[in-house]
Structure 1
């Protein structure tokens, strides 16, 4: 009797898992199909020259590029160099040294001839104590804030408090922007200046690319398996995932690696939250809330240009730390804004975007993990027949490969940063490998992140960085990791 009851519960739960899995992947399919239409429209816009001389316009909005840096001696000089080399004319760079314990500030002093202009901030900033503000004698428009450690959000708030520019761009210190990157990401602000409050671009993997003078000269597909698998994730998440969400006007995250925001709109919601590990997702959700509650017409847009390159984790331990943090932060953001979920007062964001995002990115990994345990156990006990077991595996692997190939196709069809047939073949092969082993590992990592969330674990961990200029440089194990939620549509 007990065995029969157990068998019934096991089979029933397996069927529920399969149905939910099909629903979640149906959502992913919808997003990916919509992304094709959005990519087509964006590509046509890019191919047509504007009827006016944008580059010569005297009305370009000023942009403050804010770079929070904690123990970033390996990458900070190259990162700042790429920002100073931007073709966008109305920009300033603010580096916030967030209590670094290494030579980050010394590297900046050596490279840019810094001179202290204030022993403390010229006015109160919404951040930890400031030790001094510096400007570069040799380079215009470069400021450095030296402050006590308070975390990435606290460092960004310091830069927001100091700038007088109408827009600010947040970028990680381990990232490089294409020379025309600011031109791409500011485009929505030029097209809809009174409505746009945030925009973001594509984040690409910098590991194993050819880099010189703070610029990516050649995009290479990594032959290292772990990095190659992350390249597939980034292609799928940005080219397919965020494009589709942008089409629905329901983009919930602008990557903390590279995003552009209206300064005053962010100040109105008191800047970045300093008590959360996914400050980028939290900020955009709070911007949606602010705009909708005040009936302000607004836009949060995605620009599908390859504009920023970032280093990704090179070990499973570092990757696990990063993904668990992202997952915990996602759950915390939705817990804090649970009154928006399913609430028609928040329009499509509340009734469509947040419920589906929570189901796919929050609940989905837990369902997937449960399925990986329950279905094989049921099959081993003879409670599920071979046909059902084979169908379960086919759905998981086959559909996952299809969505990953979709992301590769989007890149090859549009911006073609990877145009070597051999590299495209490697990407397609990685898309298969990703769904056999790696995907299952990520599901269990998310489940571990869920348990950490229940324990109220707020740790950030640390990942290693390599110098962009010298690939043989010793890794720095003491850096504070990037805390953006880059991969938001897994598929």
Structure 2
């Protein structure tokens, strides 16, 4: 019995040392990424403040963009979102709304507001999507095309829109998204600078909860009044202004948000469009583009542009947020496992040797190991297997360092584009940066473990995102 007890204590001590060492390495990686992001942001801010000597709409070189909007049961936000997209400043656009077999009044609201008329559209025979029942054009704005089809999921709906648009570029946008007026002019920048190599670019996603939206435009930027959406504001700032900017600095961006991303239409068609058997199509499509283009030995770029902004409604209840994050985790696991041959593979360049291994260590395994650490380290200390120093160091590397990274995100926001411009808003953001690391962060590790269990059980359900609509929109 004594031997078993000793072995258990040694195991606890060994795991505790491993967890502390693991998070020390992860923290170094995050610090490096955030420093890179700072240099990248400095250059982007300088460039955005430079006024070009030509008017944007006078240039003949802007490629046409098809804005593809998959919509399933989006009656609460679909009208404001479409209005926003139709009013975007860009020389040539087509808004393609794909009604993915909605069971609510999504299609009815589109008919009522935009006076849709059925057209005899030529549907490609090879479109990788469920049956298309009808194609409609708005009689009040010919830029709006609505596709009505059987339900097949978000990837299926995106494919229908991609194969029906004639534009050289397409912008994948969630139906609950409001896009800033000049966002397309900004997100297309990589395609203007490198027209032969740019294949994808992404912009910033911000939280729209409690912001005022009028005629498809965010007219008043406010922080959410309730805590849970407020904590997500902090998450989004950190993810976009630190994580993705840092990866962009080393040409290693592997994720473009499904809520707002711009892609070369023909290249996405080359790889068969979006996969139907994935629930995080935004992550999967970018990784597959990297894989395909590297294997084809083609020069290409995938870029992140921090100035264009899209606004989205985030979950306001813990139940809905948990469902969303479990789905994200299952999709992340599925994409990593599917593309595992890229890990540590020099044939895939920096993405295979550096970016994906770090992503797996920090984002896939990190929450699981952190969750175990919150349980095992205090137990190991209680039974005398570990000194309290290890426990304190672990909490410093997770919660303490988490506050630092959150405040780094706030600093980047204030220093750069400063959409939250009042001192009171900045103070609230700093408070959210503290608050999210005490309780919320630990809850997310539980959600990650639940997501892993669901993945191992083969759960594939999407889950329902409950929306209340944007403040200021018509009832």
TM-score bracket, normalised by the shorter chain, equals over 0.9
Do the aligned residues in 2 keep the contact of 1:121 with 1:133 (CA within 8 Å)? no
* Deviation of the 1:58 alpha carbon: 1.5
Distance in 2 (CA, whole Å) between partners of 1:393 and 1:169 is: 41
Report which stretch shifted further, 114-123 or 260-269: 114-123
Partner of 1:114: 116
Partner of 1:427: 429
**Equivalent of residue 26 in structure 1, options 25, 28, 41:** 28
Is the counterpart of residue 73 in structure 1 residue 81 in structure 2? no
Distance in 2 (CA, whole Å) between partners of 1:292 and 1:395 is: 36
Partner of 2:63: 61
Is the counterpart of residue 248 in structure 1 residue 250 in structure 2? yes
Partner of 2:341: 339
Residue 48 of structure 1 aligns to a residue in which SS? coil
Distance in 1 (CA, whole Å) between partners of 2:474 and 2:299 is: 50
Partner of 1:171: 173
Aligned length: 473
**Equivalent of residue 4 in structure 2, options 2, 17, 23:** 2
Distance in 2 (CA, whole Å) between partners of 1:139 and 1:261 is: 24
Distance in 2 (CA, whole Å) between partners of 1:332 and 1:351 is: 19
Do the aligned residues in 2 keep the contact of 1:379 with 1:389 (CA within 8 Å)? yes
Residue 118 of structure 1 aligns to a residue in which SS? coil
- Give unmatched runs, 5+ long, in structure 2: none
* Deviation of the 1:338 alpha carbon: 0.7
RMSD over aligned Cα atoms: 1.4
Partner of 2:403: 401
Q: How far does the alpha carbon of each residue in 1:218-255 deviate from its partner, in whole angstroms, 9 at most, with x for none?
A: 21112311011000000000011100000010000111
Q: How far does the alpha carbon of each residue in 1:75-96 deviate from its partner, in whole angstroms, 9 at most, with x for none?
A: 1110000000001121110000
Partner of 2:417: 415
Do the aligned residues in 1 keep the contact of 2:124 with 2:163 (CA within 8 Å)? no
Partner of 2:182: 180
Partner of 2:213: 211
Cα distance 1:395–1:59, how it changes in 2: closer, same or farther (>3 A)?
closer
Partner of 2:267: 265
* Deviation of the 1:124 alpha carbon: 5.1
Distance in 2 (CA, whole Å) between partners of 1:279 and 1:387 is: 43
Distance in 1 (CA, whole Å) between partners of 2:57 and 2:104 is: 40
Cα distance 1:348–1:177, how it changes in 2: closer, same or farther (>3 A)?
same
Do the aligned residues in 2 keep the contact of 1:64 with 1:169 (CA within 8 Å)? yes
Cα distance 1:198–1:79, how it changes in 2: closer, same or farther (>3 A)?
same
Is the counterpart of residue 44 in structure 1 residue 46 in structure 2? yes
User: Counterparts in 2 of 1:24-423, with a 5 A limit?
Assistant: 24-118=26-120, 121=123, 125-423=127-425
- Give unmatched runs, 5+ long, in structure 1: 474-491
Q: Give the alignment's TM-score, normalised by structure 1.
A: 0.94
Is the counterpart of residue 16 in structure 1 residue 14 in structure 2? no
Do the aligned residues in 1 keep the contact of 2:200 with 2:303 (CA within 8 Å)? yes
Distance in 2 (CA, whole Å) between partners of 1:440 and 1:404 is: 15
Partner of 1:489: none
* Deviation of the 1:33 alpha carbon: 0.7
Do the aligned residues in 2 keep the contact of 1:120 with 1:131 (CA within 8 Å)? no
Cα distance 1:160–1:80, how it changes in 2: closer, same or farther (>3 A)?
same
Distance in 1 (CA, whole Å) between partners of 2:308 and 2:111 is: 31
Distance in 1 (CA, whole Å) between partners of 2:381 and 2:225 is: 36
**Equivalent of residue 442 in structure 1, options 435, 438, 444:** 444
Do the aligned residues in 2 keep the contact of 1:121 with 1:132 (CA within 8 Å)? no
Q: Give the alignment's TM-score, normalised by structure 2.
A: 0.97
| Displaced runs of 4 or more, over 3 A | 51-54, 119-124, 469-473
Distance in 2 (CA, whole Å) between partners of 1:109 and 1:74 is: 15
